[in-house]
Structure 1
Amino acid sequence: MAPPLILYDARGQSPSAAPWAPNIWRVRFLLNYKRLHYRTFWLELQDVERELTRIGAPPSAIRSDGSPVYTLPVLVDPARNPAKPKILSSPNKIADYLESAYPARPIFPEGSRAMQAMFVHYIQEVFVKPLLPIMVPMSHHRLPDQTQAYFRGGQGPAGTLVGPQREQAWLAVQEQFNFLAKIMDKNNIDGDGVVSMGHEVTYADFAIVSILIWIEQMAAHDGWARVRTWNGGRWNRLWDRCREYMDVR
């Protein structure tokens, strides 16, 4: 058997805690959907730059002063050349690579790459923004103690929203879900009314469900209990369509 692909992921509060980071879940979905042989390499967030530098991973961005930024996910594919494996950063680049290198079970139906790229950009840059004041502090509190201490040294995230502020934040989140539901409802005419491309799950759906997993992991009772009922239960149906690709290895 060929050596497994390696997905670098962020460790939660305990070794048994389920992964939660949306950008990394997008890649995990692809690996599971394509039925690829892979394993997870767990990292503490404070160790990301050191470890990714050690393995020669490309930076995910460059700061204005020219210094590199290293973030997860990173995927290592030793299958073609174990002595010099392919190492990729950023979920979109990883998705393009997996689709080209492992074309079986495609996640980009023919002619859909540009539209899906625009859709995922919207999810990343617009749709998720109202969630950040709620989810980022909650995610910080679910990190291992030493990782929390590391980020507190750099001031860390703002405090968790409570009371009316929290309810107002969830209303802003619901507005984004309502808008997205109206767009996706157009598939009721000639699709199944659940997935973004009409009939089969694609990268766009994985981008949405990755956000749903983040909410479910960090705010199961306060967040996911709301979201799963919005828009006539659409998001719960989408979750169920993608459930078989939620394995963690």
Structure 2
Amino acid sequence: MIILYDIPTSVSESRDWSPNVWKIRLVLNYKGLPHKTQWVDYPDIHDLCQARGIPPGGRKPDGSSFHTVPIIYDSKTLCYVSDSLQVAQYLESMYPNRSLFPVGLNAAILSFEDLWLDKVLRHLFPLMILPVYLKLPPASQKYFRTTRELRYKKKLEDLAPLQEHPRLWDQVRRGLDSMSRPMDANGKEKLFWFGNKITYADVVMVAWLLWVKRTLGTETSEWRNILSWNNGRWGKLMRHFEQWEFVDNPSRL
């Protein structure tokens, strides 16, 4: 059994929001690996890691490391692994069925997330920080506000003023346009970054889009817009991944 550590929201019906944890949850579900989620609030992650000798899994802009999720514990090997990419690679090496890192594509997959960050996430981050904060439990809210305001040198409320939202969402749309164009080169009917083959690159895209879906909600105009952009490409991708979009129990869907 694998334990997956995740940060909960205060909303009981949609506790699971973290995009980095969703990367690993999607990998586990895609590979059909039995696992269970253990919830840990932001302020408790450091103590958990210190007590169990778990290495830091995050890196600040200044290069220093810090403890964060995702973390897994694998009872088969009695080891903890942190950092989403390292966890995904560990799961690939230990459980190679339904590979997400096909031979010959590792370099391309490993460089993909930097491209996604540059084209899409840097525009999306300011829009999502405050909505995430508002969904967290009080103890996590305090930690999140303190750490993020130190990182961005601004109050959370000032990262994306309401009047800036149309411009920022347009930048997100343009970023998704720039990701869609090379995917079209595979054939407009192809869903995945490498055409017909699902890889970890697709997991990365879906996990970050799930961040929007599960934080803002499926009825918001922002989410409906994303599903419709690029002739519905992102809606088709998300619908394909719905079969692996569950927490612990597939009957939840």
TM-score by length of 2: 0.87
Aligned partners of 1:165 and 1:216: how far apart in 2?
A: 20
CA shift for structure 1 position 230: 0.5
CA distance in 2, matches of 1:25, 1:201: 16
Q: 1:167 to 1:70 in 2, by over 3 A?
A: same
Q: Among the aligned pairs, what percent are the same residue?
A: 29
Is the Cα contact below 8 Å between 1:186 and 1:193 reproduced in 2? Answer: no
Deviation at 1:120, TM superposition (A): 2.1
Q: Which structure's residues are more often helix, by fraction?
A: 2
Question: 1:98 aligned to 91, 95, 103, which one?
Answer: 91
Aligned to 2:122: 129
Amino acid at match of 1:166: H
> SS where residue 6 of structure 2 aligns?
strand
| Structure 1 contact 99–106 (Cα < 8 Å) conserved | yes
Query: Counterparts of 1:141 and 1:91 in 2: how far apart (Å)?
Result: 24
1:194 paired residue number? 191
Alignment-derived partner of residue 109 in structure 1: 102
CA-to-aligned-CA distance 1:30-63 (integer Å, 9 cap, x gap)? 0001100111110111111111211211112567
Q: Distance in 2 between matches of 1:61 and 1:150?
A: 15
C-alpha displacement of 1:95: 1.1
Secondary structure, in 3 states, of the residue corresponding to 2:190? coil
User: Match for residue 54 of structure 2?
Assistant: 57
Q: Which amino acid aligns with 2:190?
A: G
Structure 1, gaps ≥5 residues long: none
Are the aligned partners of 1:116 and 1:203 in contact in 2 as well (CA < 8 Å)? yes
CA RMSD in angstroms comes to 2.2
Describe the shift of the 1:65–1:177 C-alpha distance in structure 2 as closer, same or farther (beyond 3 A): closer
Query: 1:75-125: per-residue Cα shift (whole Å, max 9, x none)?
Result: 111113xxxx12111111111111110011111122111111111222235
Q: Give the paired residue count.
A: 240
Q: Which residue of 2 aligns with 1:24?
A: 21
Is 1:248 matched up with 2:241?
Answer: no
Q: What letter is aligned with 2:213? A: E
Alignment partners' CA distance in 1, 2:63 and 2:111: 28
Over 3 Å counting, the alpha-carbon distance change for 1:198 and 1:153 in structure 2 is closer
Q: Is the 8 A contact 1:216 1:223 kept in 2?
A: no
1:240 Cα shift? 1.1
Partner of 2:30: 33
- Secondary structure of the residue that 2:14 maps to in structure 1? coil
User: Within 1, Cα distance between the matches of 2:215 and 2:139?
Assistant: 19
Deviation, structure 1 residue 153: 5.2
2:6 maps to what in 1?
Answer: 9
CA distance in 2, matches of 1:65, 1:129: 17
| Structure 1 residues 106 and 211: alpha-carbon distance in aligned structure 2, compared to 1, 3 A threshold | same
Provide the C-alpha distance between the structure 1 equivalents of 2:106 and 2:212, rounded to a whole number of angstroms.
27
Q: Is the 8 A contact 1:44 1:147 kept in 2?
A: yes
Query: In 1, Cα distance between the equivalents of 2:226 and 2:144?
Result: 29
Q: TM-score, normalised by structure 1?
A: 0.89
CA distance in 2, matches of 1:171, 1:63: 28
Match of 2:234 in 1: 235
Gaps of 5+ in 2: 150-154, 249-253
